[in-house]
Every structure is written in C-alpha cells, then in structure tokens.
C-alpha cells in the first residue's frame, strides 16, 4: 500500500436499506427511478454485513427511503453489531416513538450508535411541510424524544426556497428550544424529485447568496454550532478561499485547487442501494455490481469506474469540458461529481450548481463584496 | 503474565505502512507502525513480555533488546489501558 492513498477496504459504507418511505419530499434525491428497485430481504443484508465485517469496515450509515419503515431494522442493526461495526441512521424522524427508544436499549444497539440524523426543514409546520409534507409535528416529536433520552442526535436542514427566510427561526428552534449542540445544512439540488421540482425548491444564485449572508449571521450568533459539507455555508467558505488564492497566490491545502479533486469519498467509502446494487455513492448511482453476486473487495480494488473516479484528481480543471476558458479554473476543484453525472452522464465535469463563475455572472459580485 | 487480543478490536492495514486499531464499542481508534502490529499479533494468550520482546527482536533484525523491551512494555501498558488487549487467564 506504500505510496497509495487508497485504503485496502472501505472505512465506511452508506447503505440504503429500503426504497420505501412514508413521506414524499419534494427534493428527495432517492426518488423516481429508485422506487422501481426491490428491497433486499433480511438474510441478504445479514450476509452483506458479514462480508463487511470480514473486510474490517468500521461503520455503516443506514438510510432509505425511510430506514424505520423496515420491520426488521433492529435485526439488521444487530447484524451490524455482530460484525464489529458501528452505525448511524438517517431518518425523517416521524416513525420514532417511545417504543423505538426501547428497542435501542437491547444489547449493544445504543452503545454502537454513532448518531441519528433527523431532517428538519422549518421552524413550523407550514414551512417544513412545504417540502416534507404533513410531517413537522411527528418529526419534531421524534427529535425531542431522542434528545430528551440522551441519544446522539443531530439534524440536517436542507435549504430551499421555502425555508430560506426561516433559517434564523430554525436555528433558534434547534439550538435554543430543543437544545441541540449543533446542526448541519445543505441545499436542494436537481436530483431525484428535485429534478421535477427544481423551480419550486432549489435556490438560484441570488438566493444562494442570500442564504450565505444568513448563514454568516447565524455563525456569528452560534459559533461552532453550524456545520456544512455542501450548500451555501460550505460554498461561501469555498468561494472565499478561491478569491483569496487568486488574490494572494496562496493556495489553501484544504483541497487540491486546479484539478478535479472533489470528492475524495471513493478512497474510503462505498454505497449500496436497497436492491443490493453497489455504487460509488448513493447520489452517484453508477452500477458497480450487486452484493448478492459480486465481491465487494474486488469491486473496491479493480472496478474501472472506481479507478476512473480516483484518477479524476489528476485532471486539470482547464481540461474539463466547459472550464477551459474559466479564469477560476486554477482555483477550482470541480465540486461534487454526483450532479454532473446525473445531468450529463459524466462525472469528469464540474458541478454547475457550485460553479463560481456562474455565481459571479448571475449575482454580479463575489462573496467578499 | 500473558497477553491476549481483545476479540472485538478491528485491525486494518492502512496506506503508508500503518495499521489502524479500532474498538467498535468505544469508537476509539489508534494508529500503529509495523512493530506495533507485530506486537499485537503476538498477543495470542501464549506469550509473556519477555517472549514478545524476543520475537520482535528476531523479526526486526538488529533492534537493541533493551530498547525494544522498554518500547514493547510501554506499548502493552498503553494498549491494555485502552482495552485493546487483556491479560490472559
């Protein structure tokens, strides 16, 4: 392994246990074509967890669909635990009750739980329900139950046109009223049902800028308590670093500027869809194989798509289609490849949703203005 | 006193000739070099400190026994404190 940054087997695996969901959210990336796939039965997942255990995978993230719609969820969690892994759950929160909490008390289920992440998109029902229909009361009930019982619980807020001007109220609800230590944000992107509903939910560049300003104020009010890997909060930091690098010549070491270095997940993570399809990421659903027929180890090391995704980091941004004449190319990393793959069928393109040139053209000034 | 691996511990070879030890019960992780990994492998319940030191010295030709002894003792104490190894019954 010397000289390689590739881990011999994945550190973690994201697993969509089911395509079923009790909600129909307007921006769900796991909708549409995914619903045609069939959920794997219990025994197939348990066999998969045994394989992950043999590969020394350390943790899995269980999601859907809605993971709590699976009646065998805790049997599956026990399978994760039996194979020396930890786990997290991504949920809409609406099916979490006192009885759910009792289930976590069995064996090592609670000890091995990293966190439960609940999606909350508004400070009140009319806003949350605009993108996550008829679910606010139950989602907040589930969140409060977990928090009050001392579970490791976090919240993801997806910023949309519906909740842009509610973000300050959402932060007050989550951090002050409910008392979470922190929460994270991203934004709706045109994938899954977000494709049909893009005009209704996805932020345009001006709204992105507005969201950045709001997130900036919230970060001042709640230092260290808002996190983001994507969306406006992450973008303002990325754009500011690009501006700084261009102005001063100092390139940050946080990412490899000037090449397609985003993202690095394929060096340590893998994902599995609810029918067992192995994919690079549950947002980038290029089929690599299936856990019922293929070796995860072999796919991890030799699948040409994964190899190609890991080679992206050597591609100069000036060689990327659409970026050759961009003055920001030396400072850009192309951002998440899932959206260009969805839009163009090509992950070696830059993510148009995060394009700083487009942002500048449409907003009219940079993030430092 | 013989040492035994905690069977819950996950041991992963990582890039850069390092090993990652992971305790899923506590979420504790620690990295080690090749010597540390060798010491871990030797904690099979049949060897005491002197035997482990002897085998490490043999495996890493030319290593001074006094220094290896001190390093292995410190490593075993640290791993035992973190419950990565236990004393064999």
pLDDT of residue A14: 97
Locate B39 and state its tokens: 């010491």
Q: What are the CA-CA distances from residue A333 to residues A48, A106, A268, A311 (Å)?
A: 34, 45, 19, 13
Candidates B24, B28, B33: best to mutate against A (most CBs of A within 10 A) is: B24
Instruction: Using CA coordinates, name the residue in chain B closest to A2.
Output: B16
Angle, nearest 10°, between helix axes A356-363 and A232-248?
100
Residues of chain A with C-beta less than 8 angstroms from the C-beta of B12: 7-9, 11, 56, 58
Which chain B residues have any C-beta within 8 angstroms of a chain A C-beta? 8, 10-17, 22, 24-25, 27
First vs last C-alpha separation in chain B: 9
Q: Where is pLDDT greater, at A189 or B10?
A: B10
Please check the confidence at residue B64 and state whether its pLDDT lies above 60: yes
Closest-approach residue (CA) in chain B for A112: B25
Q: How many CA atoms lie within 13 A of A236 on its CB side?
A: 23
> Hey, are the CB atoms on B10 and A6 less than 8 Å from each other?
no
H/E element, B10:
strand B10-14
- Considering only CA atoms, which of A251, A288, A253 is closest in space to residue A271? A288
* Cα of B45 to nearest chain A Cα, Å: 21
Does the CA dihedral B15-B19-B23-B26 come out positive or negative? negative
Query: Does the pLDDT at position B56 exceed 70?
Result: yes
Is the model's pLDDT at B26 over the cut of 90?
A: yes
pLDDT per residue as tens, chain A (369 positions)? 334 678 899 999 999 999 999 988 888 877 666 777 899 999 999 999 999 999 999 999 999 999 999 999 999 999 999 999 999 999 999 999 999 999 999 999 999 999 999 999 999 999 999 999 999 999 999 999 999 999 999 999 999 999 999 999 999 999 999 999 999 999 987 766 666 777 788 888 889 999 999 999 999 999 999 999 889 999 988 999 999 999 998 877 667 899 999 888 899 999 999 999 999 998 898 999 999 999 999 999 999 999 999 999 999 999 999 999 999 999 999 999 999 998 899 999 999 989 999 999 998 888 875
Helix/strand/coil for B19 = strand
Q: Say whether B13 and A111 touch across the interface (CB within 8 A).
A: no
Residue in B8, B17, B25 nearest the CB of A2? B17
State the pLDDT at residue A369. 54
What per-residue confidence (pLDDT) applies to B35? 87
> Which residue in chain B has the smallest CA separation from A110?
B25
In chain A, the residue whose alpha carbon lies closest to the alpha carbon of B8 is A84
Would an 8 Å CB–CB cutoff place A268 in contact with chain B?
Answer: no
Report yes or no: A301 at the B interface, CB cutoff 8 Å: no
The C-alpha of B58 sits at a distance from chain A's nearest C-alpha, in angstroms, of 24
The model carries a pTM of 0.93
Q: Do B14 and A86 touch (CB under 8 A)?
A: no
Closest-CA distance of chain A to residue B50, Å? 30
**Contact B65/B57 with Cβ under 8 angstroms?**
yes
Contacts of B17 in chain A (CB under 8 A): 1-2
pLDDT score recorded for residue A173: 98
């Amino acid at each position: 392994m010397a000289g390689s940054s590739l881990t011999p087997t994945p550190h973690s695996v994201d697993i969509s246990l089911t395509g079923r969901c009790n909600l129909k959210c307007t921006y769900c990336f796991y909708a549409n074509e995914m619903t045609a796939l069939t959920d794997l039965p219990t025994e197939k997942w348990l066999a998969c967890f045994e394989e992950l255990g043999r590969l020394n995978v350390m943790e899995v993230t269980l999601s859907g669909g809605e993971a709590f719609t699976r009646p065998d969820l805790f049997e599956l969690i026990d399978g994760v635990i039996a194979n020396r892994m930890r786990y997290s759950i991504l949920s809409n929160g609406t099916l979490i009750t006192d009885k759910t909490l009792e289930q976590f008390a069995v064996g090592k289920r609670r000890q091995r739980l990293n966190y439960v992440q609940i999606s909350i998109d508004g400070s009140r029902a009319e806003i949350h329900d605009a993108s996550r229909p008829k679910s606010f009361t139950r989602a907040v009930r589930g969140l409060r139950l977990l928090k009050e019982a001392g579970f490791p619980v976090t919240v993801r807020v997806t910023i949309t046109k519906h909740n842009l001007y509610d973000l300050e109220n959402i932060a007050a609800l989550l951090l002050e009223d409910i008392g979470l230590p922190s929460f994270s944000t991203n934004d709706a992107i045109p994938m899954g049902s977000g494709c049909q509903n893009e005009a209704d939910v996805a932020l345009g560049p001006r709204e992105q800028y507005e969201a950045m300003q709001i997130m900036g104020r919230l970060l001042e009010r709640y230092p260290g308590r808002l996190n983001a890997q994507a969306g406006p909060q992450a973008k303002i930091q990325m754009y500011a670093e690009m501006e700084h690098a261009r102005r001063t010549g100092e390139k940050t070491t946080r990412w490899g500027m000037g090449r397609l270095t985003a993202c690095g997940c394929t060096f340590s993570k893998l994902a599995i869809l609810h029918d067992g399809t192995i994919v690079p990421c549950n947002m980038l659903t290029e089929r690599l194989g299936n856990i019922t027929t293929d070796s995860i180890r072999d796919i991890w090391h030799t699948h040409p798509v994964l190899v190609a995704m890991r080679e992206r980091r050597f591609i100069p941004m000036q060689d990327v289609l659409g970026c050759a004449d961009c003055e920001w190319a030396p400072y850009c990393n192309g951002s998440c490849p899932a959206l260009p793959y969805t839009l163009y069928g090509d992950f070696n393109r830059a993510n148009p949703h995060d394009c700083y040139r487009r942002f500048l053209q449409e907003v009219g000034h940079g993030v430092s203005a | 006193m013989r040492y035994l691996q905690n069977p819950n511990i996950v041991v992963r070879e990582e890039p850069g000739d390092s090993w990652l030890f992971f305790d899923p019960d506590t979420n504790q992780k620690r990295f080690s070099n090749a010597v540390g990994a060798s010491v871990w492998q030797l904690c099979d319940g049949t060897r005491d400190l002197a035997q482990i030191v002897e085998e490490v010295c043999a495996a890493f030709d030319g290593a001074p026994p006094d220094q290896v002894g001190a390093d292995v003792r410190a490593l075993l104490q640290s791993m035992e404190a973190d419950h990565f190894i236990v004393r064999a019954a």
